[in-house]
Structure 1
Amino acid sequence: MSFHEIRFPADLSFGSIGGPERRTDIVQLTSGHEERNTPWAHSRRRYDAGLGLRSLDDVEALIAFFEARQGQVYGFRWKDWADYKSSAPSRPVAMGDQVIAYGDGVSRSFQLIKNYTSGGVTYARPITKPVAGSVIAAVQDVERREGVHFEIDVDTGIITFDEVPLDGVEISAGFEFDVPVRFDTDRINVSVASFKAGQVPDVPVVEVRV
């Protein structure tokens, strides 16, 4: 996959709008009931990068970033200011934030995930773009340190422990993360006059699977 491990300027993504999108197939039955199914196991996020722009310098930075990615060709990292860490927005990241797996006595590598729970139902979102230096982990509530007890692949979100966790032990982690995205357009229209008047370009960004 064509992907650049670079983050869209975080000061430009601040103020943008966006969030998760689901795809649902709905079949209306003759009885009036519905059958609802989804072909997607995971949600997909969309954003508008244009709404974070505040000056002509911001526009220039956006155009440079767009040109370097060759429009839609190369993906990149995006900071979703509404959802960018394992903990609640008001709390710092902690090693027990997310239970990512339970040991089986064989595996040493595990995918980082973030769990979303409501009404007794949990959705586990794979985290594939953790922020370098932000990941902390624990095995059965005992802290493990990066570079000493585990390594993290920041390109995939795979954490690998030096020692195999015992069968049944809880493995947890805390982290900050980015969303892998690409531009959802091959064109950016900017009017200097209208921008100064408070108008901003429409710059759609969409999450990609990695």
Structure 2
Amino acid sequence: MGFHEVRFPANLSFGSIGGPERLTDVVTLANGFEERNTPWQHSRRRYDAGIAMRGLDDIETLIAFFEARRGQIHGFRWKDWADYKSGAALIEPSYDDQVIAIGDDVTPTFQLTKTYRSGVHDYARPVTKPVRGSVRIGLGGDEQQEAVHYTVDYTTGIVTFLHPPNAGDAVTAGFEFDVPVRFDTDRIMVSVASFQAGDAPNVPVVEIRV
């Protein structure tokens, strides 16, 4: 089992359906009240690319990609067109989109994260597959230069500073990112409707932890 640092063709993931899911245990007590708990700290995303298949060329590309991943064996990158930027969907990422940490004079490495807010509550999602060349980092309100002030591991989303940030300085980031996924099936069922068109009605993909 491994992970291939290759993205599922973005033109085929465009138009797919999917999004985050969580696992919640709900117990109804005798008095009618509920107790709710979850074993998951982070949500998990599921997608179905089948709806986006449009022609025989798409089907051929899908089958080749599926075979190269050995079905469910190897993970790969997936572009979630509904959520692939650190900031607003229609704006290019900026170095101050997300506060990912506060400096302490000691720690030089930080995980990229994206925080989702609603009212006074929020959820910080680890970003482990940033898109190469898209990451911008700020420190104390000033943009830093990659390879001069910091490096990025694009396979893990870890940012490493040459020198640990000063205590109290906000470490900020902007980026595009992919979702680490695998196929959630060991077979692809296709239908050829004509010499020019075909479809794969069910191509399930599920997020994995890496």
**TM-score normalised to the size of structure 2?**
0.97
Alpha-carbon deviation of 1:197? 7.4
2:201 partner amino acid: P
In the alignment, is the contact (CA less than 8 A) between 1:188 and 1:201 conserved in 2? no
2:26 and 2:164 map into 1 onto residues whose CA distance is 44
Structure 2 residue 201 is the aligned partner of structure 1 residue 169: no
1:135 aligns to what? 135
1:29 partner amino acid: L
1:132 and 1:24 map into 2 onto residues whose CA distance is 35
Alpha-carbon deviation of 1:198? 7.3
2:43 aligns to what? 43
Structure 2 residue 16 is the aligned partner of structure 1 residue 19: no
2:158 aligns to what? 158
Cα RMSD after superposing both structures: 1.4
> For residues 35-184 of structure 1, what are the structure 2 equivalents within 5 Å?
35-184=35-184
Q: Deviations over 1:144-176 (max 9, x none)?
A: 011111100000000001111011110000000
Describe the SS at the equivalent of 1:87. coil
1:87 and 1:196 map into 2 onto residues whose CA distance is 39
Describe the SS at the equivalent of 1:61. helix
Alpha-carbon deviation of 1:196? 6.7
2:56 partner amino acid: L
Describe the SS at the equivalent of 2:146. coil
Q: Deviations over 1:85-144 (max 9, x none)?
A: 101102110000000000111010000000000011010000000000000010011110
1:34 partner amino acid: E
Describe the SS at the equivalent of 2:19. strand
1:125 partner amino acid: R
Gaps of 5+ in 2: none
2:189 and 2:195 map into 1 onto residues whose CA distance is 11
Question: Percent identity between the aligned chains?
Answer: 66
Gaps of 5+ in 1: none
Alpha-carbon deviation of 1:200? 3.5
Alpha-carbon deviation of 1:59? 0.3
Describe the SS at the equivalent of 1:168. coil
1:158 and 1:136 map into 2 onto residues whose CA distance is 13
In the alignment, is the contact (CA less than 8 A) between 1:140 and 1:170 conserved in 2? yes
**Segments of 4+ moved more than 3 angstroms:** 194-200
1:198 and 1:56 map into 2 onto residues whose CA distance is 5
1:148 and 1:195 map into 2 onto residues whose CA distance is 54
2:182 and 2:3 map into 1 onto residues whose CA distance is 9
Q: How many residues align?
A: 210
